[in-house]
């Protein structure tokens, strides 16, 4: 395993320690006096005088804001039932366009269900109306209190969700609007801050790129609401010089636009999921695209669009799963631009989207110490087989299992862990081979290869290094096409009751 993959794992351990720092539900005192303790330490300082606080219990969401002007409105948007991608779906799933408040009508980075508005003396909620707009103000089961510029809001989950209970997860963002000094479309104290453009607070129709993800609201396992900062590409023109970024989720879901790292320096650390639903994410656009940084992601999740490693000579490290439900995932055309997978590799629609996975003569390596890994094509019955040029196992003590057959074009190699096929096959290209099988790291199950065999004098033919060779003796003509299937790990019982070895071959 590469050194940077170990570093990625260490970073994730540190992140997950902070991930659930809000251990249990908390109910705050709604008196305008704000303390870190009553909000379980969930606080984010966003300016010299401004901070946000958030916590919740089974009945209510509690939000507090310090700094600014107490009579200027605090705005929050909540996505209470996130889609994949977060901007996918229709108006029936929430709104991309925010409500107009004091000259600001934002484009949101998720489909919002609810917009919250409060000052020191007034609070309201508006819910999406299913038509792309916002419903009438709701003031039921809400409260606000203040002391100076400290404001505390209590928002019942029933009001926020339209009569439902606490969501299992949600996304959110917030800001305060200046309505007192003539700058009627000025936002400040944004939560979260935009690290790509810290000073960009103006504009009547801003495209907001960053938001917070709360991956769990469960008491005892709740996410700190200020830890997981996520990003959505705003979709206002392609970006062909995208630099470094460190986020939880990264979403590209804009048709006919692209993000290209080109030859821009900078590391990508996406601890949650790299999500592509539409548009393109390119890891370089020339044969010299080798000077940008590393790429470490938690998961790859595709429903459409293109994710292409292009010409990069650096690997893409995936801590957990590659989940391909649509679009095209294309590995690099350069040596070194390989894919490392820590858990599962899943393809859902290989028949309807035959280019879903393009290995491009690169190596896919299963890594890590997870006990179980999975390779699966859900439409294998329709004839789709996942292709791999070079497939490698480096999972000491673990097992990679097949839930569907796979096709290996060049080489299947082993340096730790086993590949268990079950009733499925590893089909080898006539020129492919198994490599470095050993006692504690090998293929268990079925491997199959078909080769054309010549006549006598053609010499010994090795069938993909699966442990079987054939030397034709008939000099009169070619033998023809021969399929050899090796079964490993199963014992056959003969008529005498004696068992065979746990490796045998079938010729057809």
What pLDDT score does 4 carry?
45
The answer to whether the pTM exceeds 0.85 is: yes
Residues of the chain with pLDDT under 70: 1-23, 179-184, 198-201, 263, 285-292, 350-355, 455-458, 474-477, 490-495, 497-501
What pLDDT score does 294 carry?
86
Distance set, CA 30 to CA 64, 75, 147, 149 (Å): 9, 19, 11, 14
CA distance 111 to 327: 22
The DSSP letter of residue 39 is: G
What pLDDT score does 5 carry?
43
142: Cα separation from own chain's centroid: 35
What pLDDT score does 471 carry?
86
What pLDDT score does 363 carry?
98
What pLDDT score does 203 carry?
80
Scan for tokens 């299947």, then name that residue: 412
Backbone phi and psi for residue 129, each to the nearest 5 degrees, phi listed first:
-105, 5
What pLDDT score does 441 carry?
92
Residues facing residue 101 across a β-bridge: 104
What pLDDT score does 478 carry?
77
Cis peptide before 192 (omega within 30 of 0): yes
Average pLDDT, the chain: 88
Q: Is 5 helix (H, G, I), strand (E, B) or coil?
A: helix
What pLDDT score does 477 carry?
67
């Amino acid at each position: 395993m590469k050194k940077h993959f170990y570093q990625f794992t260490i970073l994730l351990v540190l992140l997950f320690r902070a991930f659930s720092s809000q251990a249990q539900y908390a109910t705050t005192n709604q008196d305008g006096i704000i303390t870190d303790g009553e909000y379980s330490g969930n606080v984010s300082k966003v300016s010299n005088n401004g901070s946000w606080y958030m916590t919740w219990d089974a009945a209510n969401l509690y939000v507090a804001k310090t700094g600014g002007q107490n009579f200027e409105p605090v705005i929050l948007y909540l996505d209470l039932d996130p889609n994949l991608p977060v901007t996918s779906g229709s108006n029936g799933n929430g709104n991309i366009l925010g409500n107009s408040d004091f000259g600001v009508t934002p484009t949101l980075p998720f489909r919002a269900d609810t917009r919250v508005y409060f000052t020191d003396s007034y609070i309201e909620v508006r819910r999406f109306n299913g038509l792309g707009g916002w419903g009438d103000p709701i003031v039921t089961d809400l409260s606000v209190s203040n002391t100076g510029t400290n404001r505390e809001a209590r928002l019942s989950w029933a009001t926020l969700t339209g009569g439902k209970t606490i969501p299992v997860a949600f996304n959110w963002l917030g800001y305060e609007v200046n309505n007192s000094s003539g700058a009627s479309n000025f936002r400040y104290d944004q939560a979260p801050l935009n690290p790509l453009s810290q000073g960009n607070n103006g504009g009547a129709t801003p495209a907001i790129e960053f938001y917070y993800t709360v991956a769990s609201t469960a008491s005892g396992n709740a996410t700190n609401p200020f830890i997981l900062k996520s990003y959505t590409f705003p979709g206002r023109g392609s970006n062909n010089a995208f630099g470094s970024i460190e986020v939880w989720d990264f979403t590209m879901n804009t048709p006919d636009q692209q993000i290209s790292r080109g030859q821009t320096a900078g590391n990508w650390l996406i601890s949650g999921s790299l999500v592509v639903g539409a548009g393109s994410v390119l890891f370089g656009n020339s044969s010299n695209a080798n000077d940008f940084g590393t790429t470490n992601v938690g998961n790859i999740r595709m429903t459409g669009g293109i994710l292409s490693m292009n010409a990069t000579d650096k690997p893409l490290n995936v801590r957990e799963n590659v989940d391909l439900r649509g679009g095209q995932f294309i590995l690099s055309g350069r040596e070194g631009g390989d894919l490392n997978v820590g858990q599962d590799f899943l393809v859902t629609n290989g028949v309807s989207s035959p280019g879903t996975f393009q290995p491009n003569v690169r190596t896919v390596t299963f890594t890590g110490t997870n006990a179980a890994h999975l390779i699966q094509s859900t439409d294998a019955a329709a004839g789709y087989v996942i292709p791999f040029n070079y497939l490698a196992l480096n999972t000491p003590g673990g097992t990679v299992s097949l839930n569907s057959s796979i096709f290996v074009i060049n080489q299947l190699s082993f340096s730790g862990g086993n590949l268990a096929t079950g009733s499925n096959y590893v089909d080898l290209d006539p020129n492919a081979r198994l490599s470095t099988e050993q006692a504690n790291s090998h293929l268990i199950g079925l491997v199959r290869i078909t080769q054309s065999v010549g006549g006598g004098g053609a010499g010994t033919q090795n069938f993909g290094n699966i442990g079987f060779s054939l030397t034709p003796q008939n000099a009169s003509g070619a033998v023809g096409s021969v399929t050899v299937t090796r079964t490993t790990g199963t014992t056959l019982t003969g008529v005498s009751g004696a068992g065979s070895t746990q490796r045998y071959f079938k010729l057809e």
